[in-house]
Amino acid sequence: MHFHTKELTKVAMNVLLIGIASKITIPLGWVPFTLQLFAICLIAIINTQKIAMTSIGLYVILGSLGLPLFAMGWLSPSYGFVVGFIPFTYLISKQHFILAECTLYFIGLSYLAFYFKLILNMTLPFHMFIIQYMLIFIPTDLMAYLLARKLSNYLQ
């Protein structure tokens, strides 16, 4: 895959944007509310799919290598959501919000349940994961997506 200087600059700026958005947090138990999803929606909507996917992929790789880009680090209960950002970005760039959400939460909640069981030695019924770590985030996810779509009209 070949990138021009302008595209590489966009990728770098996108990674920086997500990193900054991840640091704007509201603690909500094991998975905080951050502005990452808004940044990712915006990146997926205003950029080409090539730039958006490269940006998110690079963000996940750099954060997984230990750079302080994630809200809680790569060994945290929320890491599954970070990994889920990759297919989420692809699906959002195709304007498939509901499928993107389902994919993100399937990956994120599965990892979270795994983390609770193996790392914390705790067991929660799966419906509690859905209530505490999915349903409370869906309204803000939808707002982030709609706001990103609206802003994209002004940024393109």
Three-state DSSP state, 4? coil
Q: Where are the domains of the chain?
A: 5-155
Strand residue runs (E) in the chain: 25-26, 33-34
CA dihedral 5, 10, 48, 22 (to 10 degrees): 150
> What pLDDT shows up at residue 156?
64
pLDDT of residue 26: 85
pLDDT tens, N- to C-terminus, the chain (156 residues)? 789 999 999 999 999 999 999 999 887 777 778 899 999 999 999 999 999 999 999 999 999 998 988 877 768 888 999 999 999 999 999 999 999 999 999 999 999 999 999 988 988 888 888 888 899 889 989 999 999 999 888 876
pLDDT of residue 39: 94
Interatomic CA distance for residues 66 and 94, integer angstroms: 30
Q: Identify the pLDDT of residue 1.
A: 78
Q: Whole-prediction pTM value?
A: 0.90
CATH domain 5-155 topology: Arp2/3 complex 21 kDa subunit ARPC3 (1.10.1760)
- The residues that bridge with 26 in the sheet, in sequence order, are 33
